[in-house]
Structure 1
Amino acid sequence: MERKFMLNINILDLAIEDDITTNATMTIQTAIDRCAANNGGTVTIPNGTYVIDGLQLKSNVNLHLEADAILQASGDETKYTHRPGPFELNRNPTPISALIYAKGQRNIAITGEGHIDGNYTAFIYPNQDTAVHLKFYNYPRPMTIYLEDCTNITLDHITVENAPFWTIHLVGCRNTEIGHIAIHNEVRMPNTDGIDVDRSKNTHIHDCEIITGDDAICPKCTEETAPYGDCTNLLVENCYLKTQSAAVKFGSSSFGNFENCKFRHLTIKDTNRGLAFQLRDPGSAENISFEDITIDTKPYSADWWGSGEPIFISLLPRDAATDLTGQTIRHVSFKHITSNTENGILVAAESAEAIHDITFEDVDLTLRQANETPVTFDLRPWQGTAKVQRPLQLVTNLAGSDLSFRHVQGHFPNRLTVTL
């Protein structure tokens, strides 16, 4: 990726009328603007805690956080950067806001070993110490990092924590590298997706640790971002994921296609759902591979979607108005997968032709429940019954299906379970 970081500004050396011990927004934004006007540069945040409102990144600027630097969100959403609605669905007019925002920029970066704190406590009701699923004031709440229509993005070594909503949201971006970062959110906080890859292309996520309440890595195609096309060429490798929702989830916003995505060398720990296709809108997924992945599932409260499934493949209509004619999940492979799991694999669609060419090779599942145990599968959101109950069953041949099983073993502790 092209990088031209020329001017170097340490915010402590920037003399403007701004008390950075109270709020550093004006100082940091002025440094960003000056670097951008000088064809690029690095804005250094030295060790210390700095309260900020909304910041806007600019082309050719690297926001660099030293090891003990903390950018602390003020929690005053009225001062964040706002983008008009709709949000997610075209029928939702709600605008969104972000603590750190960029749109239409090139060669932008956030680097260093410092922290960005989203201050989620400013957006929840008080006195919830024993709650298993926190209650909040509004939906949506501020995103911590929101980047739209940007090219050549680097997020490196930073820690992003305490997000009140989606942590990092890439919308229609191209050529993004997210490496060696940590996302540490309150695990009881809803909607705290780790990284949402929304209709973005050429995204590489590697060597990251994501511990959060909601989906850890979530490729999606929201309806309101349709001008950016499909979500393609995503590579995720060497990551540790722990969440009360899905570790990897395609959807549930799937108004576009997902193509050419690879996931390898992942450790998934204590998740409510491991690898998931939750397609609920007129979009398809193809040429997706999962390889060398360990999965440990654990059910949480009913507020979280999922029932401890290690692999969840579904293509179902969101509501009565959803037309899935011609939509498919195909050319998907699971290879070298090891799982200690609460539930079986689910493959679900209203049409037998909708899901095909799915390969399971060298898959070893250890289930913590006995064969024929009735289990519940969570199909939310869709127009049918939210949850269905089926017995765990050993499946060796599926008449009329296009699922391939090679070198697959499971355990009760000695059997594979695939539930349809």
Structure 2
Amino acid sequence: MQLNVLEHLTYADVRANATAAIQTAIDACAQVGGGTVLIPGSGPYTIDGLVLKSHVTLHIAAGATLVGSGNEDRYTHRPGPFELNRNATPICGLIYAKGQTDIAITGAGTIDGNYQRFIYPDQGDEVHLKFYKYPRPMTVYFEDCHQVCLQDVTLQNAPFWTVHLVGCQNTEIAHVTIHNEPRMPNTDGIDVDRSKNTYIHDCDIVTGDDAICPKCTEETAAYSDCTNLLVENCTLKTQSSAVKFGSSSFGNFYNCHFQHLTITDTNRGLTFQLRDPGSAENIRFNDISIVTKHYSKEWWGSGEPIFISLLPRDAQTDLTGQRIRNVSFTNITCNAENGLFIGSVADHMIQNLTLDHVTLTLRRPLGSPVQYDLRPWQGTPKIPATLHGIETYRENTYTTHEFVVRPAK
């Protein structure tokens, strides 16, 4: 079944707000066992929250843009807590699905999160935009869904996390463009939260916060660990980390592979920011180019191309038995303002780390004063150091094969 939302309506009928027309079409497809809801390429459509249902594809044609109204009271809400159990706040999504199977968002059109509705006006060239509240709406929020596809669409102007996958299984995100305002905080590109069998490929992500972020938030513990993630053939640019494990790490990360990535003008390249009782094992990075650029002090990081840390979030965090183990970096080229950082709160918490054919070209002279940003953790937020190829904090086990440091001339 295919339903064109303008088949029995004119564009003028839905111009003020297209939510009812689109949701009615989604519901009608679901009632007959599935189908495609076509959004024609006629121009912008303002929407409140949409709920996607099993066996339904939302196809946004080229030239069509779904624009969030900014009225989050009319978006789809999920009760709190959010991220940490002590955060009682609910969250909401512009396009939402929970417990659904075989759902998709496709087409060459655009979903616009309308972040401008959530920030203070007249901020000029402020480097870190100020906002009204936290959290703000997710652009796409899928929880406990199976057989998920996002393909070809452009997601832009997110006010908060752009795509949040919570406890989802068998997800493919392909040829998706995410372009957010780079000064906007918390605009993660794709958050893979305790999801399994996730395949992300051929995507272009430009955003303010982390581009691709495996997470295990505390409040989603029912979905267990984050496993079997494959990311390849993507370009990433962000004022935070291109790839970041954490900082929510209340579960484990197993069997994740990242290859053929191009990372440009990014505060941190490949990051493990584990701050909670979870481990990361069997993680591979290969054939990746990284260019770092240090942005303003509000963004976590100090221009490190590779940053590996396992540190307690606060005095109540117990990291007993937690490890970062069996992690390899192969054929990685870095052009950076800072060195690689490897740090943990106790000896031997980082094990079997391999740097194989890693080239680091430094744009500052060796011996220059630098600092490493350890936020969030219970200790000093930033520690001073002198610039080396690799800076270690506590005793860690790593090996290098053809690790080359090229100092600035």
TM-score (norm 2): 0.98
Task: Tell me the percent identity.
Answer: 65
- Give 1:17 deviation, angstroms: 13
- Code of the residue aligned with 1:196 in structure 2: it is D
2:378 aligned with 1:376, yes or no?
no
Closer/same/farther in 2, CA of residues 142 and 126 from structure 1, 3 Å limit: same
- Give 1:21 deviation, angstroms: 1.1
The 5-angstrom pairing of residues 273-352 of structure 1 reads 273-352=268-347
Q: For the Cα contact (< 8 Å) 2:347–2:394, is it kept in 1?
A: no
- Code of the residue aligned with 2:3 in structure 1: it is I
Aligned-partner Cα distance in 1 for 2:92–2:45: 20
Match of 2:397 among 396, 402, 417: 402
- Code of the residue aligned with 1:392 in structure 2: it is L
- Give 1:397 deviation, angstroms: 11
- Give 1:413 deviation, angstroms: 3.7
2:14 aligned with 1:32, yes or no?
no
Unaligned regions of 5+ residues in structure 2, if any?
A: none
- Code of the residue aligned with 1:28 in structure 2: it is I
Counterpart in 2 of 1:136?
Answer: 131
Aligned-partner Cα distance in 1 for 2:59–2:228: 28
Q: Alpha-carbon deviations, 1:245-280, whole Å to 9, x = none? A: 000000000000000000000000000000000000
Counterpart in 2 of 1:390?
Answer: 385
Q: Alpha-carbon deviations, 1:340-374, whole Å to 9, x = none? A: 10100000101121001000000001001111111
State the secondary structure of the residue aligned to 2:135.
coil
State the secondary structure of the residue aligned to 2:348.
helix
Q: For the Cα contact (< 8 Å) 2:341–2:392, is it kept in 1?
A: no
RMSD over equivalenced CA pairs, Å: 1.7
TM-score (norm 1): 0.95
Q: Alpha-carbon deviations, 1:149-172, whole Å to 9, x = none? A: 000000000000000000000000
Counterpart in 2 of 1:211?
Answer: 206
Aligned-partner Cα distance in 1 for 2:60–2:394: 57
Aligned-partner Cα distance in 2 for 1:93–1:58: 27
Counterpart in 1 of 2:240?
Answer: 245
- Give 1:34 deviation, angstroms: 0.3
Match of 1:93 among 66, 88, 96: 88
2:43 aligned with 1:42, yes or no?
no
More displaced 10-residue stretch of structure 1: 379-388 or 395-404: 395-404
Q: How many residues align?
A: 408
- Give 1:128 deviation, angstroms: 0.7
- Code of the residue aligned with 1:25 in structure 2: it is T
Q: For the Cα contact (< 8 Å) 2:161–2:188, is it kept in 1?
A: yes
Counterpart in 1 of 2:14?
Answer: 20
Closer/same/farther in 2, CA of residues 314 and 362 from structure 1, 3 Å limit: same
Q: For the Cα contact (< 8 Å) 2:349–2:396, is it kept in 1?
A: no
Q: For the Cα contact (< 8 Å) 1:18–1:24, is it kept in 2?
A: no
Q: Alpha-carbon deviations, 1:86-106, whole Å to 9, x = none? A: 000001100001100000000
- Code of the residue aligned with 1:117 in structure 2: it is D
Aligned-partner Cα distance in 2 for 1:201–1:310: 27
Q: For the Cα contact (< 8 Å) 2:216–2:249, is it kept in 1?
A: yes
Q: For the Cα contact (< 8 Å) 1:16–1:27, is it kept in 2?
A: no
Q: Alpha-carbon deviations, 1:83-128, whole Å to 9, x = none? A: 0000000011000011000000000000000000000000000001
State the secondary structure of the residue aligned to 2:14.
coil
Aligned-partner Cα distance in 2 for 1:13–1:401: 63
More displaced 10-residue stretch of structure 1: 176-185 or 345-354: 345-354
Aligned-partner Cα distance in 2 for 1:395–1:11: 57
Counterpart in 1 of 2:145?
Answer: 150
Closer/same/farther in 2, CA of residues 29 and 398 from structure 1, 3 Å limit: closer
